[in-house]
A = this chain, B = another copy of it.
């Protein structure tokens, strides 16, 4: 059984080049796979035709979300990372022992992200197995493509007694329980939701747990996510503790596996980047969060030129925005600030050539994120999943204004910079309409 949908819009299969398509006829199978995409083809009876003014884009891929932190989004941004964790974040995350609270937050979060066009989400949950399983259930119910990980964190020196794994065994057993739940979930035959092994970051874990999780990744083939070299503090912690860089240490523990998602990377060295590239892992660039907690701007352009797999992350709630639109906008602005420098009185300021433009930001939010995850998502082509967003630039409560004569990629540039939630008319994951 196939379905046909006719739409015009944009995608960026390759970084730096925007492709526009007009009256493209998409034929989908019942798994949401695109069987064909043909511009100007005859439209069969029964086809769904998007309104002429609507603009189809690939769905957004958010590589780094702390789901339990959604209630504190936009708050507590004035303290250093380690205080932010101990004073604000760990006490909030500890509350997810309460499944009623977890359900209220996670249902709202997944719904809000889908409404903003985040069709794929890579989630940290908490240490709690039941609440993590619940988040996976909610993604399946609402139809969001997701990776969901139970957070592993067991070092008593770093984690409060009220919020940590009691032992390596508990961290591994809990992680296994979530993997089994997701893999054998009766609603997940298509694998829309996948487990992900989630050591919080090296400073929160004992070496024993890091090694055990690396072994678990090797045993199960399950993906890994963690943080890497986010801030001066984190970067220095690992250097002091292990005598090597954060990236090298993750690799030594077997945690830098193919498509591992490493958040931030603000302080990565060129050698670290080459290691990540060699291993086929990727960096989740979180430019808004970095402004608050990283003490530097990720060298995005340099990382792209080294061939790293890269995508964007909102880093809820390290960044004050919960949507990938703001992350894409800030990726461009932050790259310009890195290029230009900050202090006009310093004649040596800046990093010439550091800029990226909206084309790269759009690529990272879509095809770049998809390629980083190794999933058939992020652009439109036969064999890819139909994960998509329809933009209505004329929505009454929207904020896009297009003017006569504006055509081609200028339209995409305006949409990327000025769209609001009200402009998002429809969202599909695997061909299924999922907008709340």
A residues neighboring B (CB under 8 Å): 70-71, 73-75, 77-78, 105, 108, 112, 116, 229, 232, 235, 266-267, 269, 288, 291-292, 294-297, 299, 320-323, 329-330, 332-334, 336-338, 340-345, 349-351, 355, 357-358, 397-399, 401, 403, 406, 410, 413-414, 416-418, 420-422
Residues of B close to A403: CB separation below 8 A: 71, 105
19 extra A-B contacts, CB within 8 A, seeds A296-B344, A322-B399: A71-B403, A73-B414, A75-B410, A105-B403, A267-B344, A291-B340, A294-B340, A295-B340, A296-B342, A296-B349, A299-B344, A320-B417, A337-B342, A341-B342, A342-B351, A397-B397, A397-B422, A420-B420, A421-B422
Residues of B close to A112: CB separation below 8 A: 399, 401
Q: How far is the CB of A276 from chain B (nearest CB, A)?
A: 15
Residues of B close to A73: CB separation below 8 A: 401, 414, 417-418
Contact, CB under 8 Å: A421 / B401: no
Contact, CB under 8 Å: B296 / A341: yes
- Report the Cα distance A397→B112, complex, angstroms: 10
Instruction: Enumerate the 7 nearest inter-chain pairs by beta-carbon distance, A residue then B residue, closest first.
Output: A74-B417, A296-B344, A295-B340, A320-B417, A267-B344, A291-B333, A71-B403
Q: How far is the CB of A124 from chain B (nearest CB, A)?
A: 18
The one of B333, B355, B406 in contact with A330, judged by C-beta atoms closer than 8 angstroms, is: B333
Q: Which residue of B lies closest to A422 (CB)?
A: B397
- Report the Cα distance A112→B422, complex, angstroms: 14
- Report the Cα distance A266→B108, complex, angstroms: 41
- Report the Cα distance A329→B294, complex, angstroms: 17
Q: Which residue of B lies closest to A294 (CB)?
A: B340
- Report the Cα distance A358→B358, complex, angstroms: 27
Residues of B close to A297: CB separation below 8 A: 337, 342-343
- Report the Cα distance A349→B358, complex, angstroms: 27
- Report the Cα distance A322→B420, complex, angstroms: 12
The one of B267, B334, B355, B421 in contact with A397, judged by C-beta atoms closer than 8 angstroms, is: B421
Q: Which residue of B lies closest to A400 (CB)?
A: B74
Residues of B close to A418: CB separation below 8 A: 73-74, 320-322
- Report the Cα distance A54→B6, complex, angstroms: 41
Could you say how many copies of this chain the assembly holds?
Answer: 2
- Report the Cα distance A268→B322, complex, angstroms: 35
Residues of B close to A294: CB separation below 8 A: 340, 344
Q: Which residue of B lies closest to A116 (CB)?
A: B399
Q: How far is the CB of A102 from chain B (nearest CB, A)?
A: 13
Contact, CB under 8 Å: A296 / B343: yes
- Report the Cα distance A212→B52, complex, angstroms: 53
Residues of B close to A330: CB separation below 8 A: 333
- Report the Cα distance A266→B337, complex, angstroms: 13
Residues of B close to A338: CB separation below 8 A: 342-343
Q: How far is the CB of A55 from chain B (nearest CB, A)?
A: 14
Q: A75-B414, A320-B417 are in contact. Are A401 and B108 (CB under 8 A)?
A: yes
The one of B295, B337, B342, B413 in contact with A74, judged by C-beta atoms closer than 8 angstroms, is: B413
Contact, CB under 8 Å: A351 / B343: yes
- Residue among A330, A344, A406 with most chain B CB within 10 A: A344
Q: Which residue of B lies closest to A341 (CB)?
A: B296
- Report the Cα distance A420→B421, complex, angstroms: 8
Q: How far is the CB of A189 from chain B (nearest CB, A)?
A: 32
Q: How far is the CB of A171 from chain B (nearest CB, A)?
A: 28
Residues of B close to A422: CB separation below 8 A: 397, 420-422
Q: How far is the CB of A402 from chain B (nearest CB, A)?
A: 9
Residues of B close to A341: CB separation below 8 A: 295-296, 342
- Residue among A71, A323, A355 with most chain B CB within 10 A: A71
Contact, CB under 8 Å: A336 / B291: yes
- Report the Cα distance A64→B343, complex, angstroms: 22
Q: How far is the CB of A313 from chain B (nearest CB, A)?
A: 16
Q: How far is the CB of A16 from chain B (nearest CB, A)?
A: 12
A-B contact pairs, 21 of them (CB 8 A): A70-B401, A71-B403, A74-B414, A74-B416, A77-B357, A78-B357, A229-B344, A267-B344, A294-B340, A294-B344, A295-B340, A296-B344, A296-B349, A299-B344, A320-B418, A322-B399, A341-B342, A397-B421, A420-B420, A420-B422, A421-B422
